[in-house]
Structure 1
Amino acid sequence: MLRVFLILLLFILPLSACAVQPQGQSEPPSAALASYYPELKYQEMSPTPVSGIYEVVIESGDVLYFVPASGHMFLGDLWTADGQNLTQENKSRRMSSKVNLFPLEKAIKIGDGPHQVIEVTDPDCPFCRHGSDYFAGRDDVTRYVFLFPLEELHPHAAAKARFILAADDPEQAYEDVFSGKYDSQPVPDAPDDGRLQLFREIAHKAGVTGTPHFWIDGQHVTGYNPQQFDALLNQ
């Protein structure tokens, strides 16, 4: 959320001096957006169920809402009266479409069950570890793990990721790290085979900025959400 506000401050607020469109003037929503906010870079723009309001996906993957008639821009989630979060559903749809960006042959493979689970995870993220425990308790999944250490938050996570990737038995090294074995002792030095950088590049291309992220049989789930895991795996 803080990142979105910084984007607003950098790219939107300085443009408040732009000329206001005359009332009643009709032009395509994309042209109105370019007119009001010429420096704003975005991926896509689409109408919402609310008349006159458009969803704008900016370069970071975050969502803003734009009113072409007045030039107003606002941030937040769009809900229906029955509690349906349309913003989150659309984010999930877009993220689900990115599942093919992940080269499974490069991942750490765990299990051989019928359900495919792709994990983007940080060795020192507590919610990632909860997710790991959840999937370790199931024998119906094949897991493809892509390590994405958030070094700003977890300064030892990158060393742990390199250790896992360089291990003779990466699955066992993964289990050791995620179980906390190396939380109170340093991991052994490990060579860097380039995969960690590859994983970072893939994650960024997929729009991942935090952890964990999961794709369960192609359906995206953000964060540790066992109820949603259950719903997808038990269909």
Structure 2
Amino acid sequence: MRISTLLVALLSLVFSNAQADVEEDITNKLGQIAPDMRVSEISPAPIAGLYQVLLEGGGVLYVSADAGHLIQGTLFDISGNQPRNLTAEAEAVINTQALEALDQDQLVIFAPQEPKTHVTIFTDVDCGYCRKLHEEIDELQALGIEVRYAAFVRAGLASQTAETMESVWCADDRQQAMTKAKRGEAIPMAECDNPLQEQLELGKRLGVRGTPAIFFANGIMLPGYKPAETLAAEAMANQATAEE
């Protein structure tokens, strides 16, 4: 019995050392080809001989055990009845960590009294579908969905839209200012320390290319508009990982 226990311990140690060597080789190789790249986590991929590399701020790579080959793309598991996007699932973990780290005081939040789950939406006040989605904000709250708005100024921080969005974030009543801005109504211009640049950069790192970009509580991203009832149903179906 003691011999078996000792053997298991020795095998575990050998495997741990080998794993550490592989991770070090992969990290060093990635550092050589992209010095600014920051690795968050390395683990065996579902395919033998490949390792999954999670990058800080978002992104997933697959690298061979000898650190000689790199794959950038989407990995699907098609062994079951329905394909699973394994890359999206891995990215969702990174997304959740990044979004949960956001300062809630730097978001514009519309919350029901008893939220069932939440969505984080990168928004632009001059985006047509962002405005359409906001028209249904009361319905979303009635369905138990808390909406957390982050800023994503599509036209850039030197634009008129950025000035309006800064005024929203600097308003005494951000919810009211957001609603007026998305209706195309004038709001008082205001300046303050604001998170527009930080949130724009975060959105880009998380793969946001347009607005609205909706992130569910489990980190899965839904690009584009969905009607309130459909969005609420999908939000409820994608809450477990983050809120169980």
Indicate yes or no: 2:69 matched with 1:72.
yes
Which residue in 1 is equivalent to 2:126?
A: 124
CA distance in 2, matches of 1:221, 1:135: 20
Cα distance in 2, alignment partners of residues 169 and 58 from structure 1: 37
Given that 2:58 and 2:94 are in contact with CA atoms closer than 8 Å, whether structure 1 keeps it comes out as no
Tell me if 1:142 matches 2:146: yes
SS of residue paired to 2:76? coil
| Structure 1 residue 109, shift from structure 2 partner | 3.0
CA contact (8 A) 1:118 1:143 kept: yes
Inter-CA distance 148–154: structure 2 relative to 1 (3 Å threshold): same
* CA deviations over 1:42-64 (Å, ceiling 9, x no partner): 22222111001112223452222
Counterpart-to-counterpart distance in 2, 1:60 and 1:105? 21
Distance 2:207 2:74 in 1: 19
Query: Which SS does the other structure have where 1:57 is aligned?
Result: strand
Q: 1:200 aligns with which of 194, 197, 200?
A: 197
TM-score of the pair, normalised by structure 1: 0.68
The CA deviation at 1:77 is: 0.2
Superposed CA deviations along residues 75-114 of structure 1, whole A, max 9, x for unmatched, are 1100011311000011112212334312223432324242
After superposition, the CA RMSD in angstroms is: 3.3
Overall identity of the aligned pairs, in %: 19
Task: Please give the TM-score of this superposition, normalised by the length of structure 2.
Answer: 0.66
C-alpha change, 1:34 and 1:117, in structure 2 (3 Å) is closer
**Greater mean alpha carbon deviation, residues 116-125 or residues 75-84:** 116-125
Inter-partner Cα distance in structure 2 for 1:113 and 1:221 = 25
What is residue 155 of structure 2 aligned with on the other side?
A: 151
The one-character-per-residue Cα deviations of 1:125-163 (angstroms, maximum 9, x if unpaired) are 445445434544322233332323233499432122023
1:178 is matched with 182
For the residues of structure 2 that align with 1:105 and 1:38, how far apart are their CA atoms?
36
Contact 1:135 1:141 in 2 (8 A): no
Question: How many residues in Structure 1 have an aligned counterpart in Structure 2?
Answer: 202
Residues 124 and 153, structure 2, Cα contact 8 Å, conserved in 1: yes
Which structure has greater helix proportion?
2
1:43 alignment partner in structure 2:
40
| Structure 1 letter corresponding to 2:190 | P
Which residue matches 1:5? none
Amino acid at match of 2:66: A
Alignment correspondent of 1:12: none
Inter-CA distance 105–178: structure 2 relative to 1 (3 Å threshold):
same
1:175–1:188: structure 2 CA closer, same or farther, 3 Å change rule?
A: closer
Corresponding residue for residue 234 of structure 2: 231
